[in-house]
Amino acid sequence: MKQRLFFNMAERGIVLTAMKSYIQNVESPQKPLFEMTFKKIQKAHFPTLDGMEMICVVTALTWRSRVFMEMGKRAEQLLYLDFSNQIDDIRQEFQYRNAPEIIKAARTAAVS
């Protein structure tokens, strides 16, 4: 199950900038997942992401927000943090909405 995200041009630019910066500056065992998510967002104007990919976006935006905070750029920090919270709200609602289907599928697989 996936969720389509509707970014305007500015929001898409913010996400791509945060993702690219995160990938270049952070060593993480999940780096391949971040790179795959970055490419998916880069290719599609309205990307369709699963919960884990949305977590990647939220992580990159939050990290970039912290970078701006350390630089003393309060307006940019709040912009990235607010957008991170918006996407996380979408992810939580998506996962809450789809959790019954995931649980049902897991139970069906366990019974067979």
Residue 106's pLDDT is 64
Distances (CA, A) of 18 to 41, 53, 106, 107: 12, 14, 35, 38
Number of compact structural domains in the chain: 1
Residue 48's pLDDT is 95
Distances (CA, A) of 7 to 24, 26, 42, 46, 73: 23, 25, 12, 6, 24
**Residues 4-38: pLDDT tens digits?**
999 999 999 999 999 999 999 988 888 999 999 99
The domain in which residue 84 lies consists of 3-111
Residue 104's pLDDT is 65
Contact 38, 15 (CB under 8 A): no
Phi, psi of 44, rounded to the nearest 5 degrees: -110, 135
The model carries a pTM of 0.86
